[in-house]
Structure formats: structure tokens, C-alpha cells
A and B are shown apart, each in its own frame.
Chain A
Amino acid sequence: MVADGTPRRMHPGTVAITFLRKAPQNVLAIPIFAGWMSGRGFGWALLIAAIAGGFALFFMWLKWRRFTYTVGAEELVIERGLLNLSRRSIPLERIQDVSIERKLLHRLFGLAEVRVETGGGDADEAVLDSVSLAEAQRLRAALRGQRVAASVETGEVAAPAEPHALPVVFAMSPGRVLLLGLFSFSLVWLAALFGAIQFLDQFIDFGWDQIKDYAGAARAEAQARFSVNAVLIVAALALALGVVSGVISTLLRDWGFTLRAGEGRFRRTRGLLTRSEVVVAMRRIQLALVQRGPLRGWLGWQALSVQTLGGSNDPSGRQLLAPLATEAEVSELMRIAGLPPFERLPLRPVGAGHVVRSLIRTVTAPLAAILLATVLLTPLALIGLLVLPPMAAAALLQRRYHRFALSGCGLQVMRGVVAQRDWTVPANNVQVVTLHATWLQRLLGVASVLVDTAGAKGRGAPDVVDVNLPDARALAAGLIARVD
């Protein structure tokens, strides 16, 4: 039994994993820096590395030694700390779920990280990093079993293999993961790669400069001869790298994406090197968000994520249930989650003032920048005016694509021209409603209805912007009237 009330320590392999994970900064970076500063050579740097490593290892061992967890009959208690003792007790009934994540190092050591998720917003409420895989599964069974009060009675804790017993409701085939990777073309990864090279450049000195020199010489040569070709080649290379990096990052993240459902929860597993498992309790779902990216949306692909209250590994507070799915698959998942289907027909557009406001918002800043550059730098900056018509067109279309409806089951909002988003918010999940109007909005006779929900911060709230004032009043009053 796990729920025996005796304190346990994490797996001793934790020390090794932590050491390896922190080694680059503890053992490598400091000694290399110190050795480089002193100029006394390699042996000296090695000595410092050994001392630093020894210290790090000792403190990690101490930390491991002082960290215990106890599964009692009523609560999970985590005690830790050397000087500042901390004791955190989490009532079992407050535990929403237990998720298991295995990064590459964990898998090498046969360990797993266990996250105990409660309703609180704090992501690090209870993380056991790391315990053996068997212990992780036993813990999950015990902590969840207490709540569901099912398998504990029989004492059958050693067979918690039910995650695979749940039916699969959505899965990504390798081909579809690859397709998602192609859509995920991004130069951000490329920038990160170059950033990493620049960063490593400070530490590693084996000939990167020469390579850069060769490359620079070659480029100068090439530019001198066929500069247009060279530019095209560089652009094509960047494009290819963008595609490749998108594919690789997607493969690493979404390989073997499987979503199972049952017993009031979704269980998602994904990842090639880091296998992560996330549990989403259906009754904690606050809203559903369907996203259609620029290219994939036109081809009929959608992504479904849900926002849940607390206990999220994802800093955004939303969990992806399906990264690339057809409309039918998404509506089936929404049905399983107990959410009303997204209906386009009853949606009504926001006020005409939205056109004016989105035009002002999108065009003003670039126009000012271009005019400033024209006056201060070069008349050539006027070429930049070419980007304005497409931006203005997108702004003018915003109203067509920003619609909302309040039905018996809740609020539905769609927004976005190039990247489209559909929100479905069950009426009971609305926390606070705010009517908001700037002086320009009041001049245009519109107001925004800001809908506050639990679980996720920042952008991506199901706000309805620039609604005609009578509609806005009716929407706010209707939302509040449906709370019970």
C-alpha cells in the first residue's frame, strides 16, 4: 500500500538526474569561466570543476535526503527544507489529478516525474521529481483511488494500468504529425538556433570563427559574382531550415499524440523523447477554444484546446486536446467533453464601429513609422506603404469575422481573419462580466463586453469587442442572468 502514512523519499536516482541536468551550469560553465579568467590552463579548470561538482552533488543529495512525502488517509504531506522547514499538506479530496511526465533523462533511469494537481493556480504545488515508474503509477492509483474510492477497497493498487483501458478518442498518425510539422514552419526556431550558436560561441573556441571566416569569404565571393542568386539561395536555405526545424520540433513534441477519454477525464500522452501525460478533468473545463491557423485553417484543419481551472502544466492555462483535427473530430471531442456544439448560424456581428476601430488600430502605427522614416531617413521608405492595403483589408474584414451568440447553453464567440478562433463558454463558467467603453467607443456607440473566466490569463479571453451598445447591454445582462 502507498497510503500507509509512512514518509517516503524520492528515488535516489533523482540525485543523479538533477546532477546531470544542472551539470552544464554547475560543472562546466563556472570552471570554464574561472579557468578562462585565470589563464592557468586545463588542469586547473578541471580541479575547479571537480570541486564545484562535488559541492553540487552534496547539496543535491542533502535536498533529496530532506524531502519526504507521505500519503495518509486524509492528506498528502510533503516535507522539505534544511533550514527553512516547510510542510505542505494537501487534502486528498482537493487533489484534482495526478499526471506523470517522463523526460529523456527520466526514461534513461527508469524514473518519472509526478505532478499532483489541485484547484489552485500555483503550478508547482506538489511535484515529485522523480520517483520510479512503478511508484509513480502506485501513487496515482492511491491518490486518485482515494478520491474515486474504487480500487482502494480491493487493495488492488499494483495494477493501475487502466490508462490504456480507456478508449482512444483522438490520435495523431505519423503522417498527420508530419503534416502538422510542415504547417508549423517557423523562423523562430531558426532564430533560437542562431541565438544558441552565438551563445555557445562565447564558450567554445574550436574553430567556429574560422568557419565563419570561410563562410564570410565565400559569401563575399558569391555576392561579388551573383548577388541576386546569393540572396535567393540564402532565402531558400532559411526557408528550408524553417521547415525542417518546424518538422523536428513538432515530431519531438507531438509524436504518438493519443487522447483517451473516460471516467470524466481526458488523458493525453504525447512526445518522442519526453513522454508527457496530462489529465484533464472534464468538470474542470471552463471553455473550449478552436483555432484555425492561416494555412491549415483554409485546408479544413482545426486545433482544439480547453481551458481548465488550476492544475495545468501549461503556463497558458490551456490544454491542447487535438493539435490537427477535422471539424467532425473536433465536434465529437466537444460532445465527449459535454460542451455545446459551435453553431455558426445564430451568430450575430458586432457593431460597425469595430471597422473604424480596427482600422485605426492596425494602420496608425505603421503609417506613422513609415512617414517618420521617409522624413528622417530616405524617401525609399515610402515603398513600405505597399504593406498597408493588405493590413487595411484584414482590418476591414475583422467585423465580418467577429461574431457572437448567447444561447441557452452559453456564450459563443468567433474572432480573427487570418488566424481564426472560436470560443465556447458554458454560461455557468463566467466569473465576472465587465462593460468597457473608451471615449472613442462611446462616440461610435459601441462597448466591449469583457468576459472573465477561470484558469487562463492574458490574451485569448472570450471578449466581445465593439458591440452596439443595446446589444452589449443585453449580452451582459443575459450572461449574468444565466449564472446559477
Chain B
Amino acid sequence: MLLPDVPLQPLERGHLNAMRLSGAVFFAAAAIGSAIPSYALSREWTWLPVWAAPLVLVLIGLWSVLIAAPRRWARWGWAWTGRELHVAQGWLTQSHTIVPALRVQHIDVTQGPVERMFGVATLVLHTAGTTHSTVHLPGISRATAEEIRDAIRAKLSAEPW
């Protein structure tokens, strides 16, 4: 925890399932796609079974869905203090971003198809900054996202610079 003073809230459980589903779909597609080069290689080297590359991808996919996804999910955390939004994330490389509400230019609440399936939404804050000018907070319920959005909107200043 980079900033222990700020009590962080975990993401919605639904977001973990959304992460798992997107990961599973990605690796399933990759495993099927890798069958063609794997077949070509197995003709070159007869000792190499056709299912080698898909098997490796399936194993990586299983690791990603069963082990990595929960860890990454657990590392996310957020807090809305009424003055600023905190977003913490990262497993090996950790980061904790603080956006003062007064500096926000505009706010989006987005919900992709997978997110809609699991009842979560993403809050996107845009600031006038450059390198971190958009800050994403995924995996909160739509109601929470709209609540934070309305709270920040009430604080927006006319001249954020």
C-alpha cells in the first residue's frame, strides 16, 4: 500500500468475473489461432505434437484466469474523499493516483458489453494534464460511478487552471 492513510474500497466482485471472462475469451481465441502455426511447425519437426502451442496458451490462460486475475483485482482500490479521487492499482509495479476534483475537466461513465453483463461500470476522469490526463476507475457499480460523477460535477470550477 503506497498511501496507507487513505482507506481504499475494493472493486465490485463482478469486475473480477469480467476480467476472467475477457481473459478466457482472449486466451481461447489465441489458442485456436495458434493451431495453424503449430500444425506447420509439427510438419517440419515431427517430434513436435500439433497441440503443443495451444496447450501452452491454454495453461497460460488458466493461470491468468485462476491466479493472476484475482491478484490483480485485489490490488485495485479506490476512495472518494469528497475532495479528490484516489485510484490504486498494480501488483508488481504499484501506483496510486490522486485526482483533485477541482482539476477535473470532464467526466465519463462508460459501460462496455462485458461490463454490462456483470453490472459494473468505468468512471473516466479527464484533466488538463498531459501524461496522466485520463484516469480510469473500472469495476464500480453504475450507481456508485454516477454518484461520484455528480459529486465531482458539483465541484468543477469554471477555470481549472
Contact = CB atoms under 8 A, between A and B. Distances in A.
Interface of A: 284, 286, 309, 317, 429-439, 442, 447, 450, 452-458, 461, 469, 472-473, 476-477, 480, 483-484
Interface stretch (B15-23, B61-69, B126-134, B144-152): B126-134
Q: Classify chain B's interface size.
A: 20 to 34
B132 A309 contact: no
B28 interface: no
Contacts of A286: 161
Interface stretch (B48-56, B87-95, B109-117): B87-95
B94 A431 contact: no
Given A438-B93, A453-B129, A432 B161 contact: no
Given A431-B103, A477-B5, A437 B94 contact: yes
A372 B83 CA distance: 54
A431 B129 contact: yes
Contact of B102 (A439, A457, A484): A484
Nearest to A433: B98
Contacts of B95: 434-437
Contacts of A432: 97-99, 103, 127, 129, 132-133, 135
Nearest to A483: B100
Given A432-B133, A435-B98, 19 more contacts: A432-B97, A432-B99, A432-B127, A432-B132, A433-B97, A433-B98, A434-B97, A436-B96, A437-B2, A437-B94, A437-B95, A450-B131, A450-B132, A452-B131, A454-B129, A454-B161, A476-B3, A480-B98, A480-B100
B64 to A, nearest CB: 19
Given A432-B103, A454-B128, A454-B130, A473 B3 contact: yes
6 contacts: A317-B130, A436-B93, A436-B95, A452-B130, A452-B131, A476-B3
B133 A452 contact: yes
Contacts of A436: 93-96
B12 interface: no
A432 B94 CA distance: 16
Given A434-B95, A434-B98, A473-B2, A480 B84 contact: yes
Contact of B131 (A461, A473, A476, A484): A461
Contacts of B129: 431-432, 452-454
Contacts of B84: 480, 483
Contacts of A309: 128, 161
Given A435-B3, A476-B98, A453 B130 contact: yes
B93 to A, nearest CB: 5
A95 to B, nearest CB: 15
Contacts, number: 92
Contacts of B98: 432-435, 476, 480
A78 B101 CA distance: 35
Nearest to A307: B130
Nearest to B95: A436
Contact of A435 (B2, B92, B99, B133): B2
Given A432-B99, A435-B95, A447 B131 contact: no
Nearest to B94: A437
A286 B95 CA distance: 24
A436 B135 CA distance: 14
B123 to A, nearest CB: 14
Kindly list the 7 A-B residue pairs having the minimum CB-CB distance in the complex, ordered from nearest.
A431-B129, A452-B129, A454-B128, A435-B96, A483-B100, A435-B2, A434-B97
A454 B131 CA distance: 9
Interface in B1-17: 2-3, 5
Contacts of A430: 100, 103
Contacts of A317: 130
Interface string B33-71: 000000000000000000000000000000000000000
B107 to A, nearest CB: 14
A331 to B, nearest CB: 24
B9 to A, nearest CB: 18
Contacts of A450: 131-132
A358 B102 CA distance: 36
A477 B98 CA distance: 9
Contacts of A453: 129-130
